[in-house]
Amino acid sequence: MQIKDLKVLFTEEQLQNKVKELAERINQEYKSEELITICVLKGAVMFAVDLVKNLTMPVKMEFIRLSSYGSGTVSSGKVHAVDISLPDLNDKNVLIIEDIVDTGHTAKFLLDFINNNFKTKSTKFCSLLDKKISRAAEIEPDYYGFEIDDKFVVGYGLDFDGYFRNLKYIAYSDKV
């Protein structure tokens, strides 16, 4: 995949507007209640950082690292915990922040992990993108930004073989 072959799917402006819209919904929902956000590294980092800057309640940021993709573009379906050390989440409002829900295996793994290990006040899932058409596990994000079809996308945190995370926009290529 080369930068010259990339086609823009969402511009920087579209992404920033969507982030503000999602933050507004989250602010309305939690009001002034404390929120623990869990950013799923590495893909969700740009989205999580922009999202939390628009949240108005007291926020703590946690980070975990998982992987289900190798260097290709097809989800393995096997979620692998690289670093999942978390603080005590009992009685907390927890919001998991992801870049994209594809098959849903990662989201399900995480929600099960949190709900099996903690008795949270609430556990919700926010994803910038939702590839509903590829869903294999039974999970729907509580919040999502854009629904996309079955394209492999890069940019704004999302990578191909480690590259393109730094793009301010989200793009795809027909030549993978």
Q: Which residues bind ligand 5GP (CB under 6 A)?
A: 43, 68-69, 75, 98-107, 152-154, 158-160
Nearest to 95 by CA among 133, 47, 131, 136: 47
Whose Cβ is closer to ligand 5GP: residue 37's or residue 103's? Answer: 103
Least Å distance, CB 166 to ligand 5GP, is 13
Least Å distance, CB 10 to ligand 5GP, is 12
Whose Cβ is closer to ligand 5GP: residue 30's or residue 40's? Answer: 40
Q: Please answer whether residues 130 and 146 qualify as being in contact, where contact means their C-beta atoms are separated by less than 8 angstroms.
A: yes
Q: Please answer whether residues 82 and 43 qualify as being in contact, where contact means their C-beta atoms are separated by less than 8 angstroms.
A: no
Q: What DSSP line would sit under 128-172, residue for residue?
A: EEE-GGG--SS---SEEEEE--S--EEBTTB-BTTBSTT-SSEEE
Least Å distance, CB 95 to ligand 5GP, is 16
- Catalytic pick from 102, 130, 150, 159? 102
Q: Please answer whether residues 77 and 20 qualify as being in contact, where contact means their C-beta atoms are separated by less than 8 angstroms.
A: no
Whose Cβ is closer to ligand 5GP: residue 30's or residue 172's? Answer: 172
Is 112 catalytic? The answer is: no
Q: Catalytic residues, which ones?
A: 102
